[in-house]
Homo-oligomer: A and B are copies of this chain.
Amino acid sequence: MGSSSDLFLRACRGEKTERPPVWLMRQAGRYLPEYREVRRQADFLTLCTTPELAAKVTLQPIDRLGVDAAILFSDILTPAPAMGLGLAFTPGPVVDPPVRSASDVERLVVPDVEASLPFVYETIRILRRELAGRVPLIGFGAAPFTLSAYLAEGEGSRSFEKWKGMLYGAPGVAHGLLEKVTETTIRYLVAQVKAGAQAIQVFDTWAGLVSLSDYETFSVPYAQRVIEAVRATGVPVIYFALDAAHLAKAVSSCGADVYGADWRTSLADASAALGGEVVLQGNLDPCVLFADEETVRARTLAMLRDGAGIRGHIANLGHGILPGTPVANAVAFVETVKGWKP
């Protein structure tokens, strides 16, 4: 049996573990009073780009919640300025100018990431020192489909009609954008590993907005390239496509070590849909944490029993923890996992 400090990494590699490791997507964030305290002194973008501050908020949930992994505090849009685009948070992300045409794509830079995003790598180095092996550090980035969606749309959107109008009507432009974003993302994530990230999560947050056929055309091949390049460095990769029940047939071809699962599908059904031999990460509905503590414990136990029947399980929420979540309920979630005997 390995040490509890590498429980998460052992589970990522598909080893049987004494219990599922647990962490929460967006575990550093607005629901924590100590995070809001830091945010009173710095806006979101300053926080992401100032290593001392980013490291500080990354560490906050480690002691407060007792999770089994830390995840770099950053944003999936962090690489946009290095590609030559303006980025602001108002509070949602705004990319200016958005990428809409072949000439817009032509102008995009595939950056020297260490020169243009030094704060990301410095944050990781600080974190590895300060964590001192207590828990592993996860780095992350967007899947090319999802980062391209933001760059083309220029902002968050319910429907991403400008991005999808491009996919459908100008697929050559979309593939050009995806290509440059893929190259950038590979550099961005491989350099995270070089700086000390011990696992990488790839977020394909908007994959579920398209059909299986369009997902196979516009997301899978690019996600595969990113995942393959990161895995070649020797660290495990988690791929998380949100709201992707209709994409299950293609998701497992992305080649990740672990797949994220949301609460819409049971872990047993999600595992079967992905071919039955996968490690899954998830999948408590973050909205459960808005109920009472007894409900949190009961629904967490139900998730653990569901996860006990599959190849491997990393306990997490099915999406990021929401602002306004009572901290005591996040603690109850973590404690329930840590107290569980499979």
How many Å from the CB of A243 to the closest CB on chain B? 7
Write out, one digit per residue, whether chain A residues 201-230 have a CB within 8 A of any chain B CB (1) or not (0): 000000011111100000000000000000
CA distance A285 to B164 in the complex (A): 9
Write out, one digit per residue, whether chain A residues 223-266 have a CB within 8 A of any chain B CB (1) or not (0): 00000000000000000000101100000000000000001111
Stretch at the interface among A50-58, A102-110, A122-130, A154-162: A154-162
Which of chain B's residues have a CB closer than 8 A to the CB of A2?
A: none
Pick the residue among B164, B211, B287 that contacts A168 (CB under 8 A): B287
CA distance A245 to B292 in the complex (A): 30
Q: How many copies does the complex hold?
A: 2
Which of chain B's residues have a CB closer than 8 A to the CB of A308?
A: none
Which residue from chain B places its CB closest to the CB of A166 in the assembled complex?
B291
How many Å from the CB of A291 to the closest CB on chain B? 3
Q: Contacts A263-B211, A265-B246 given; indicate if A161 touches B295 (C-beta within 8 A).
A: no
- A42 at interface (Cβ–Cβ under 8 A)? no
- A141 at interface (Cβ–Cβ under 8 A)? no
How many Å from the CB of A272 to the closest CB on chain B? 13
- A324 at interface (Cβ–Cβ under 8 A)? yes
CA distance A295 to B166 in the complex (A): 11
Which residue from chain B places its CB closest to the CB of A165 in the assembled complex?
B290
How many Å from the CB of A177 to the closest CB on chain B? 15
Is the CB–CB distance between B161 and A290 below 8 Å? yes
Which of chain B's residues have a CB closer than 8 A to the CB of A265?
A: 211-212, 246
How many Å from the CB of A160 to the closest CB on chain B? 7
- A338 at interface (Cβ–Cβ under 8 A)? no
How many Å from the CB of A262 to the closest CB on chain B? 9
CA distance A165 to B213 in the complex (A): 35
How many Å from the CB of A91 to the closest CB on chain B? 13
Which residue from chain B places its CB closest to the CB of A208 in the assembled complex?
B264
Other CB < 8 Å A-B pairs besides A162-B290, A165-B291, A169-B291, 20 of them?
A161-B287, A161-B322, A161-B324, A164-B285, A165-B287, A168-B285, A168-B290, A168-B291, A168-B295, A168-B299, A169-B292, A169-B295, A209-B264, A211-B263, A211-B264, A212-B264, A212-B265, A213-B266, A243-B243, A246-B246
The contact sample of 22 A-B pairs, CB cut-off 8 A, is A159-B319, A161-B287, A161-B324, A164-B290, A165-B287, A168-B290, A168-B299, A169-B291, A169-B292, A169-B295, A170-B291, A208-B264, A209-B264, A210-B264, A210-B285, A211-B263, A211-B285, A212-B264, A212-B266, A213-B266, A245-B246, A246-B264
Q: Which residues does A use to contact B, with CB under 8 Å?
A: 159-162, 164-166, 168-170, 208-213, 243, 245-246, 263-266, 285-288, 290-292, 295, 299, 319, 322, 324
